[in-house]
Amino acid sequence: MEARIGICLPSSAVLHTDTKQSGNPEIADYSQQRTTLRREVNIMKKALMVWGGWEGHEPKQCVDIFAPFLEDQGYELRIENTLDVYTEKEYMNSLSLIVPVWTMGDITDEQAQGLLDAVRGGVGIAGWHGGMGDSFRTCTEYQFMVGGQWVAHPGGIVTYTVNIVVDDDPITAGLDDFEMNSEQYYMHVDPSNEVLATTTFTGEHYSWIAGCVMPAVWKRRYGQGRVFYSSVGHVAADFEVDEARTIVQRGMLWASR
């Protein structure tokens, strides 16, 4: 279904042109000048979710968590499990939001160019964990767009804290620090990122990183596009943690144009 652009008069719309109905001729006249009917402009936003790659990150299960949210927000949603969709230039440029859920794997030059061009042109992109932060290890321009790349998760599944460091941003407002029992991502990160949350390594597994404060949630720009990333969300069950799920939901809405 293509995006709908139209103007319609809902059944509940009221015409305020009858002075008897309004009870005041001046009010009726003002209403008629200002607007004689209530218009509803319906411009449906489009979102694309692309899942695949390493199955250990449960890409389809994670898509199934966030797809209903986007639909509830009024998005026309398309879900694909092939990177070839990135080569559909006209469609890509029509999007409001791209949500990649694809760990590791390979991307062709044409596929990468289609994705990167769309974001540079203003399409938003939002994702989490390895589905966005460890996707195509040989595509450095993709990593430049994301603002970081996974390199390690010391200790595997560990208990760690995510610290909210910006509490007046729409993505993190009202949220407190929270604990995860999952992979704590150690990443190479772009210093131009606007960091919203961090996590600190204890050094229990690698003594030389003790006390290292690592960005865990950030936002940035890539050309005209907004980019959101959270390192939290190893498997679908991680999003049973309210804060982890809420951050991604808000991040998608922030990134969307």
pLDDT at 255 over 60: yes
Instruction: Specify the residue for token string 């704590």.
Output: 184
Do residues 127 and 101 make contact, with C-beta atoms less than 8 angstroms apart?
A: yes
pLDDT at 227 over 80: yes
Same domain, 154 and 35: no
Residue 90 sits in a domain of what CATH number?
3.40.50.880
Mean pLDDT for the chain?
88
pLDDT of residue 201: 98
Residue 112 CA to residue 68 CA, distance in Å, equals: 27
pLDDT at 32 over 50: no
Show the tokens assigned to 169.
Answer: 């941003």
How many CA atoms, within 13 angstroms, populate the side-chain half-sphere of residue 174? Answer: 6
> Residue 112: which H helix or E strand, with range?
helix 109-120
Same domain, 213 and 99: yes
Query: Which residue range forms the structural domain that includes residue 34?
Result: 5-42
Sorted by sequence, the CB contacts under 8 Å of residue 24 that are 6+ apart come out as none
Confidence class of residue 4 from pLDDT cuts 50, 70 and 90? very low
Same domain, 15 and 71: no
> Residue 143: which H helix or E strand, with range?
helix 140-146
Sorted by sequence, the CB contacts under 8 Å of residue 29 that are 6+ apart come out as none
Sorted by sequence, the CB contacts under 8 Å of residue 251 that are 6+ apart come out as 126, 171, 217, 219, 228, 229, 230
pLDDT at 23 over 80: no
Same domain, 154 and 32: no
> Residue 67: which H helix or E strand, with range?
helix 59-72
Confidence class of residue 60 from pLDDT cuts 50, 70 and 90? very high
Same domain, 16 and 49: no
Same domain, 60 and 156: yes
Same domain, 124 and 223: yes
Instruction: Specify the number of domains making up the chain.
Output: 2
Confidence class of residue 3 from pLDDT cuts 50, 70 and 90? very low
pLDDT of residue 18: 36
Q: What is the pLDDT of residues 71-114, one digit of tens each?
A: 999 999 999 999 999 999 999 999 999 999 999 999 999 999 99
